[in-house]
Amino acid sequence: MPEQITNYQCPNCTGPLGFDGASGKQQCGHCGASFDVAVIEQIYADLERAAAAAGAAQQWDLSMAGGSWSEQEAARIRSYSCPSCGAGILCDDTTAATSCPYCLNPTVVPGQFTGQLRPDYVIPFRLDKQAAKEALKKYYRKKKFLPKAFAAENNIDDVKGIYVPFWLFDGQADASVCYKATKVSNYTSGDYKVTDTDHYRVVREGSVAFEKVPVDGSSKMPDNHMDAVEPFDYRELKPFSTAYLPGFLADKYDVSAGECSQRANSRIIASTESAFAATAGGYTSLATEYSHMNLRQGAVKYALLPVWMLSTKWKGRDFLFAMNGQTGKLIGDLPIDKGKYWGWFLGIFLGLSSLLSLLFFVGGGTPWS
């Protein structure tokens, strides 16, 4: 029997409700009415209590229809019933919010957020789909080696607003770092050009506290894209509510906090080393002689953070882009026009060659005999 799911409908006209990042309210896609998140939560809490008291509605028994899933497929597939049109919705075991493919109403799968799977926080989407498309066009314009045909011919095949599961790690790094440093100075003494090099031993010790170091907990999301769209403004973190999800996709984590902890440790170590090195400025060179670090691991929280994923195809290749749904920061891979690249390289090379030839001539170089 399919598990019952929830979609949010307008109290006025029963049209589909979706969260609008600009206003911070639930907005009806039909009549345009808007409602506070707390109001919709209360309405649906009352409806759920009434439904529980009345008992679950009878469902069709479809257990004999169709073939059998393999053991591996069955472990990953979930079936839900759309409360608006009654259609069955198939998705994998990490999907927590989606849309009905028949009536297009946004749906939430509350069972995916119960118990240990329920997030602590959510940052609502601030930017919409159109903003993501416009950001991609601007991203194209800034790339000097991008083939003209790519921007002119390709169409964005898919744009999805996804609440990506992130683990947020708190901790502290106690570190002691020793550097080998040099200061180099040049001066002229008579007919000689003199170079002086002074050597130093630079020691830095201290502690750095970290809050909410993010590591994405979805194996579907490319880690380099998720790292690149940071940072998120944590001042907009809100206590988790499914009322923020309609109109967007959402996945629960499928990589545990324990599995993500090593990436969190690596990020903390790299950030600490960078912070310490920044305090040792003024040297010509700085090389780490040794580094000792003790990590004091603190609390871990589970949050859903907003990301727009855009994908396109060109000449048989897939190109994936990610945009922070809160700040608009966008990252992605693009093709390179080799003709433009080598033309630029050749231009630089010829320019330098001409400059060197001019300097040689002005300097009175000896002609070939």
Residue 54: predicted pLDDT: 47
- Residue 208: predicted pLDDT: 93
**Minimal CA–CA distance to 133: which of 111, 113, 151, 114?**
151
pLDDT digits (tens, 9 = 90+) for 301-324: 999 999 998 887 777 777 888 999
pLDDT value at residue 94 = 72
pLDDT of residue 209: 94
Residue 60 and residue 120: Cα distance in Å, rounded? Answer: 36
Q: Residue 168 and residue 172: Cα distance in Å, rounded?
A: 14
Which stretches of the chain drop beneath a pLDDT of 50? 1-4, 54-67, 341-346, 349, 363-369
Tokens encoding 274: 């960078």
What whole-number distance in Å separates Cα of residue 70 and Cα of residue 77? 10
Please report, for residues 144, 187, 202, 287, 338, the alpha-carbon distance to residue 196 in angstroms, rounded to integers and kept in the order given.
Answer: 42, 8, 19, 19, 44
Q: What is the pLDDT of residue 245?
A: 83
- Whether pTM > 0.75 for this model: the answer is no
Q: What is the pLDDT of residue 273?
A: 92
Is the Cβ–Cβ distance between 28 and 20 less than 8 Å?
Answer: no
DSSP collapsed to 3 states, the chain: CCEECECCECCCCCCEEEEECCCCEEEECCCCCEECHHHHHHHHHHHHHHHHHHCCCCCCCCCCCCCCCCHHHHHHEEEEECCCCCCEEEEECCEEEEECCCCCCEEECHHHHCHHHCCCEECCCCCCHHHHHHHHHHHHHCCCCCCHHHHHHCCEEEEEEEEEEEEEEEEEEEEEEEEEEEEEEEEEECCEEEEEEEEEEEEEEEEEEEEEEEEECCCCCCHHHHHHCCCCCHHHCEECCHHHCCCCEEECCCCCHHHHHHHHHHHHHHHHHHHHHHCCCCCCEEEEEEEEEEEEEEEEEEEEEEEEEEEEEECCEEEEEEEECCCCCEEECCCCCHHHHHHHHHHHHHHHHHHHHHHHHHCCCCCCC
